[in-house]
Every structure is written in structure tokens, then in C-alpha cells.
A and B are shown apart, each in its own frame.
Chain A
């Protein structure tokens, strides 16, 4: 590719009531074109009802080096999962 278009992250809402989910990324010269490219790349099989595009440069990500201090402490704390409660019979969707 000879162009140096910025990278955009694409979020698709698949149905009303659901949140936007990250679908992938693409290159585009500006936000308006990014939205159109996202429509062609990520919703052409009826995947979505709403699109967000976000400059990839605006995303602050956790670093792989920090993986252990960030995420490992949560690994052995099973009591944080709501598995120790008896669910009343009438509750179907918890």
C-alpha cells in the first residue's frame, strides 16, 4: 500500500439493546471514510445496526508486560464469582 492512512478500530452493534462490540480495524483517510469502509468490511452480511469508528491512536491499551500484575491476582479468587449462592427457583435469567 502506497498510502499512509491512519488506522481505525471498528465497533459494531449487532442488535438494538446490545453494546457495540469490537469487530476489527481498517485504514482510512478520515473518520467519514472510515465509517463507510467499516460498513463495507464489517456489515455487508447484515451484522449490524450501528457502527462506531475510533482512531486506533486514541486507544490506550494494557501492556503485555503488565499481564501478571494486572490480571493474575484475579485468577485464584474463586469467591469473587457468584457461585456460592443458591438461586431462587423463580429466577430464570441471572
Chain B
């Protein structure tokens, strides 16, 4: 057993446990963080510049840390990440969407991190949310503020940049917009004012896009059949490929460590 394993088993043994709706909430937020973390990690070695490679990997690792903490409230981290089937994942469909080009990734980051920051803040302020999740929120809200800042700065530069970057940013937003309808679907166990959060999110998103000389995309923010889908375990086609890659090693070599 390596020191890291020891540290983790101790953590797992002492981690607070959630059941019922609290566990469902931890799983939903944890799956959002894990899947987006995996998508961002796909940029490693491929980002437009070395500096950006490191920035995306940092954000990915922040999200992985959030996912691990949330999973530790529910059960075994490895089992939850590597041994669940597609239908058992409760992440929203937005986070599983492919990276596309850099602008599309930034569009997904902007939509998600704006929403995640609002939710962590609301959780922190709500005494009715489970205590372990509120304790994580205190740390996560600072990480997420940085993620939002990173996405905002890039949206401004791409939107208000060259003709090419503007066109790509607009296309990226249009691709991701169709999957934002789920962002504020109520999460059981987190009694928040989701409708109000959504209004705040829209206002903030609209402000960033306006400064970036972009408009809020037109059209519905959800496919008719997909509304609420991810939270019920219904995912889009790219998710299967993501899971195959993410779970392949653990399933081929159960319990492998290095």
C-alpha cells in the first residue's frame, strides 16, 4: 500500500456519510465535477499554448478534488467513478459535451462555472443543505470563482477578438446553449431557489456575452426530449465514448494502482 492509499483509506473511513436525498445530491454534483474534469483533462498536451494547457489541467484537478470529496460522502470513490454504468451517472448533459475547439470548451466552461459558483454560494448560505456539502462549498466556491474568471477572460478575448475567434465563440455558445436547460433543474436534498439562481445566471451570462460583443443564443435551451435527462441517467451519445475511455483501465485491471 502506498502512502497515498493509506491517506485515502483514512480519509474515506472518517469521511461523513450521507444517505437518501443528501447522497443523491452529492452524487449529482460529484458526477458534474468528475465528467467535466475528465473532458478538461482531454486537453492535456493539446491546448493552444503550454500556459493554457496548465490552466485547463489545474481547473480539471480542482473539479476532480470536488468530485472525490462528494463521492466520499456516498461510498467508494473508485467504484463510483469506474464501475457504474452509463445510466447510473447523474451529471447534466452539458458537462459531457465534447470539447470541440478551444472556443467551444470555453463556452461550456462559462455556462457551467457561472452556474456552479452561484450554486456553491447558495449552498453555503443555506442552513437546510447537508453540512458536509456546505463544508465543501466553502472551499469550492473560491476554486469556482477562478474557473469563472478564466472562462470570462477568454470569452471576452475570443468574442471581441478577430473575425475568426468571434465566429468560433458564437458557434461554441450555440452548441452549448442547447444543453443549459438542465443547469438549474432542482437537485433533491438541496432546497435552493433554483428559479432565482437561473435568473441570476442568465443576467451574469448576458453581461459577459454583451461585453464580448456576443448575444445570448436564440432557440430553446434544451432538446425537447432531453430536458432533465442527465439527472435521470439519460445521456447523449458522446458520453458512452467518454465513459469507455475513463473506465477502461480500471475495468481491464481491477484494483490496479501505481
A contacts, CB < 8 Å to B: 1-3, 5, 26-30, 32-33, 36-37, 40-41, 44
User: Once the chains bind, are A36 and B150 in contact (CB under 8 Å)?
Assistant: yes
A-B contact count (CB 8 A): 32
Known: A3-B48, A37-B52, A40-B55. 4 other contacts (CB 8 A): A1-B48, A1-B49, A28-B51, A36-B150
B54 part of interface (Cβ distance < 8 Å): yes
B157 part of interface (Cβ distance < 8 Å): yes
Residue from the list B48, B51, B149 in contact with A37, Cβ < 8 A:
B51
- For A32, list chain B residues within 8 Å (CB): 153
How far apart are the CA atoms of A37 and B153 in the complex, in Å? Answer: 12
A-B contact pairs, 22 of them (CB 8 A): A1-B48, A1-B50, A2-B48, A3-B48, A3-B49, A5-B49, A27-B51, A29-B157, A30-B157, A33-B157, A36-B149, A36-B150, A36-B153, A37-B51, A37-B52, A37-B54, A37-B55, A40-B51, A40-B54, A40-B55, A40-B58, A41-B51
How far apart are the CA atoms of A5 and B51 in the complex, in Å? Answer: 11
Known: A40-B55, A41-B54. A27 touches B49 (CB 8 A): yes
B contacts, CB < 8 Å to A: 48-52, 54-55, 58, 149-150, 153, 157
Smallest CB separation, B235 vs chain A (Å): 31
Q: Is the interface of B mostly helix, strand, loop or mixed?
A: helix
- For B54, list chain A residues within 8 Å (CB): 37, 40-41
Chain A residue nearest to B156 (CB atoms) is A32
Most buried by A among B49, B50, B153: B49
How far apart are the CA atoms of A37 and B48 in the complex, in Å? Answer: 13
- For A41, list chain B residues within 8 Å (CB): 51, 54
How far apart are the CA atoms of A40 and B53 in the complex, in Å? Answer: 10
Smallest CB separation, A26 vs chain B (Å): 5
How far apart are the CA atoms of A29 and B48 in the complex, in Å? Answer: 12
Smallest CB separation, A24 vs chain B (Å): 11
How far apart are the CA atoms of A5 and B48 in the complex, in Å? Answer: 11
Most buried by A among B48, B50, B51, B153: B51
- For B153, list chain A residues within 8 Å (CB): 32-33, 36
- For B157, list chain A residues within 8 Å (CB): 29-30, 33
Smallest CB separation, A47 vs chain B (Å): 14
- For B150, list chain A residues within 8 Å (CB): 36
3 nearest A-B residue pairs (beta carbon): A37-B51, A40-B55, A40-B58
How far apart are the CA atoms of A52 and B27 in the complex, in Å? Answer: 40
